[in-house]
Amino acid sequence: MLVVGLAVLALPGVTALAEEPSPASDLRERRHALIQLISEYQDYEDYKPSRTQEEIAARRAVRLDRIEVIDPDKAAAARLAKARGFLPRLEAIDTTGFPEHEVLNKVLLVRQLRMDIEGDRFQLRRMPVDQLGGIHLGAPRWAHLPPRPLPEDFDTLLANYRKIPALFDQTMAQMKKGMAEGLMPPRYLLEKVARQAGEIARMSPESSPFGAPLDRIPADLLAAKRKKLRADLLTAIRKGILPAYARFARFVKEEYAPKGRAEPGIWSLPDGKARYAWLVRISTTTDLTPEEVHQIGLGEVARIEGEMKEVAVRLGYPDPRSLNAATAVDPKLHAGSAEQLLALYRSHIEAMQPRLPELFLKVPERRLEVAPLESYQEKESPRAEYRPGDPGKVIVNTSEPRDTLAVESTAYHEGVPGHHLQWAFVDANPNLVPFRMALGYPAYVEGWALYAERLAKEIGFYQDPYGDYGRLQGELFRAARLVVDTGLHAERWSREKAVQYMRDHLAMGETEIGNEVDRYAVWPAQALGYKIGEMKLLELREHARKELGAAFDLRKFHQQVLGQGVLPLDVLAEKIDRWIAVEKKP
């Protein structure tokens, strides 16, 4: 059993729910003070009052935002000062007698502010680029127009294009400060950054990502204005953006990459041990140490491999490696067409839908569709993803003949009872303020989805042992991440050792393994939330079952887990303890 401590951040206020309420007038004043302070915070952080994930997506689809060129150091200093100003005002509010959602508003905002204050020491902005992200990969998003662009969108587009070179200059200034402070990404991955930027720098304006809007200039504009707009956009690309890419690529190749860190792990950075421990706390929302996570991962890998061997033997193979080799070439375990693959996802989701009342007291009404991924995203995308909305969509990558082993577990993970149901609960809650609608703690969000895969097994799904084997392969991958991530950043593993560990335990190709290890090198602790979150949910469920005995109701437990939106695991644990106490009352 995973035993997760709850002392991540000392958060006052949650236990106040059990105390006697204050006089009504005082209670109203205190509640009003909290509402006003949260509103002030949301205005400062520019949280929009969108009620649903769908509205958030819709707003982005009809609006082209303007680039603001703001000095990162000044912005960080202002944000830190604001957090330090908000925190004591927020902590001073006594939440005795408040409704649970308002108590959680304070708890979560206190937590957010403390995270911002504590994390400032690590200067994350000093390493703004890597092979997976940064200005060189992010700038092309400014070329994405709304589905129905208006003439004013092109005015915004042109203004944005003219500001992109300044963003490159800002980024390089931060990188130079990082060089001086010894805050550097791995050298071998920075060489990829130089190549990525160089490829775009060598493109013609029309063939570059920034040339895509040229064909979407509104036809109803006067011919002279169309001609001028096109010429202005091309000039901004040719004389501004592409030279900025060239300067950036040259800087990375000649100055920055040669000074990249030699080790893949951030233990080699200044204050590296504390830096990684903080990132682990942020990712897992627990007080687990990197060393504890590493041992948990090793134990889970051994357990899951034992279960996989049992399935392999049942299917007539001596071990998982033999089964992996057989499934890789078995045409019956590969979709013959995109439509066949989509149909498989739909069939699993449709089979799960009528079983949901066994798992929840009330299932939010929210349509769910399965659709193919857009072709231009296929190369870099995973096998499937979930996009919130009404309808919510499980988006499936149909770009190549895919094995079907993981289709069933992925359908439950991305669809129901996984992410789709999770976000349906968020959207159905009228008490969630905008900043809470934007929370996305990976240990909770992805932990629930991985828990959903296992939950399906517990109520009788995965009748095909190949589907169950696919579920175990996915779980093994998440467990191996715990080992490799902490191996790189806490145990001082080399890249070669991390690659070999994944090669020894996972049925993945060499390129995929290398990409995964490189991802962990530049996104420390990001991959830890899935497995830690799932294990914590299982632990909380068993704790509730033990405490309540025959009175335990799985539907009520799930209602408690999902009913107040996205929560850190330590806060969720306290919430479950309060629910248990209420359920025990005669």
**Following DSSP, what letter does each residue of 49-94 receive, concatenated?**
---SHHHHHHHHHT--PPP----HHHHHHHHHHHHHHHHHHHHT--
My answer on whether 132 and 204 are in the same domain is yes
Query: Which of 75, 92, 124 is the endpoint of a domain?
Result: 124
3-state secondary structure of 133: strand
3-state secondary structure of 96: coil
How far, in Å, CA of 497 to CA of 499, rounded? 5
Q: CB neighbours of 263 closer than 8 A, spacing ≥ 6? A: 186, 492, 494
Paired tokens of 478: 């998440």
Neighbours of 78 (CB within 10 A): 13
Q: Are strands 368-372 and 392-396 parallel, antiparallel or unpaired?
A: parallel
Contact 143, 215 (CB under 8 A): no
- 222, with CB counted inside 10 A (0-12, 13-18, 19+), is exposed
Contact 296, 482 (CB under 8 A): yes
My answer on whether 258 and 129 are in the same domain is yes
My answer on whether 46 and 86 are in the same domain is yes
Token pair 């060499």 in the structure block, residue: 510
Quote the domain boundaries for residue 113: 14-124
pLDDT of residue 283: 96
Domain membership of residue 495 (yes or no) is no
My answer on whether 154 and 256 are in the same domain is yes
Tens digit of each residue's pLDDT, the chain (586 residues): 333 333 344 444 444 444 455 578 899 999 999 999 999 999 998 876 544 445 554 444 455 788 989 999 999 999 999 999 999 999 999 999 999 999 999 999 999 999 999 999 999 999 999 999 999 999 998 998 888 888 899 999 999 999 999 999 999 999 999 999 999 999 999 999 999 999 999 999 999 999 999 999 988 888 899 999 999 999 999 999 999 999 999 999 999 999 999 999 999 999 999 999 999 999 999 999 999 999 999 999 999 999 999 999 999 999 999 999 999 999 999 999 999 999 999 999 999 999 999 999 999 999 999 999 987 667 767 889 999 988 999 999 998 767 899 999 999 999 999 999 999 999 999 999 999 999 999 999 999 999 999 999 999 999 999 999 999 999 999 999 999 999 999 999 999 999 999 999 999 999 999 999 999 999 999 999 999 999 999 999 999 999 999 999 999 999 999 999 999 999 999 999 999 999 998 8
My answer on whether 138 and 251 are in the same domain is yes
My answer on whether 162 and 234 are in the same domain is yes
Q: Are strands 384-387 and 392-396 parallel, antiparallel or unpaired?
A: antiparallel
Q: CB neighbours of 66 closer than 8 A, spacing ≥ 6? A: 156, 159, 160
My answer on whether 138 and 73 are in the same domain is no
Domain membership of residue 108 (yes or no) is yes
- 100, with CB counted inside 10 A (0-12, 13-18, 19+), is middle
Domain membership of residue 217 (yes or no) is yes
Put residue 577 in one of left, alpha, beta given phi > 0 → left and psi -120 to 50 → alpha: alpha
Paired tokens of 185: 């990404």
What are the C-alpha distances in Å from 528 to residues 227, 285, 504?
52, 10, 20
Neighbours of 69 (CB within 10 A): 11
pLDDT of residue 147: 80
Neighbours of 241 (CB within 10 A): 25
Domain membership of residue 435 (yes or no) is no
Task: Indicate the Cα dihedral angle 152, 155, 161, 162, nearest 10°.
Answer: -150
- Identify the CA nearest to 183 among candidates 88, 259, 292, 80: 259
Neighbours of 28 (CB within 10 A): 11
My answer on whether 70 and 155 are in the same domain is no
pLDDT of residue 401: 67
What are the C-alpha distances in Å from 516 to residues 213, 409, 410?
33, 21, 19
- Identify the CA nearest to 278 among candidates 265, 288, 270: 288
- Provide the residue type at 269 as one letter: L
Domain membership of residue 57 (yes or no) is yes
Put residue 462 in one of left, alpha, beta given phi > 0 → left and psi -120 to 50 → alpha: left
My answer on whether 257 and 134 are in the same domain is yes
Paired tokens of 10: 């000392």
Query: Which of 241, 262, 283 is the endpoint of a domain?
Result: 262
Query: Which of 97, 124, 151 is the endpoint of a domain?
Result: 124
pLDDT of residue 22: 54
Contact 146, 61 (CB under 8 A): yes
Q: Which residues pair with 387 in a beta bridge?
A: 393
My answer on whether 103 and 182 are in the same domain is no
Domain membership of residue 194 (yes or no) is yes
pLDDT of residue 316: 97
Domain membership of residue 27 (yes or no) is yes
Token pair 């979150």 in the structure block, residue: 533
- Provide the residue type at 385 as one letter: E
My answer on whether 130 and 185 are in the same domain is yes
How far, in Å, CA of 498 to CA of 516, rounded? 10
Number of domains in the chain: 2
My answer on whether 149 and 214 are in the same domain is yes
Paired tokens of 120: 């400032």
What are the C-alpha distances in Å from 305 to residues 179, 254, 298?
43, 46, 11
- Identify the CA nearest to 564 among candidates 14, 60, 44: 14
pLDDT of residue 1: 39
Paired tokens of 329: 């070439």
Q: What is the pTM of this model?
A: 0.90
Neighbours of 331 (CB within 10 A): 8
Q: N- to C-terminal Cα distance for the chain?
A: 30
Task: Indicate the Cα dihedral angle 272, 274, 279, 282, nearest 10°.
Answer: -170
Domain membership of residue 446 (yes or no) is no
pLDDT of residue 4: 35
Sign of the alpha-carbon dihedral angle for 402, 408, 410, 415: positive
Contact 179, 256 (CB under 8 A): yes
Q: Which helix (H) or strand (E) holds 376?
A: none
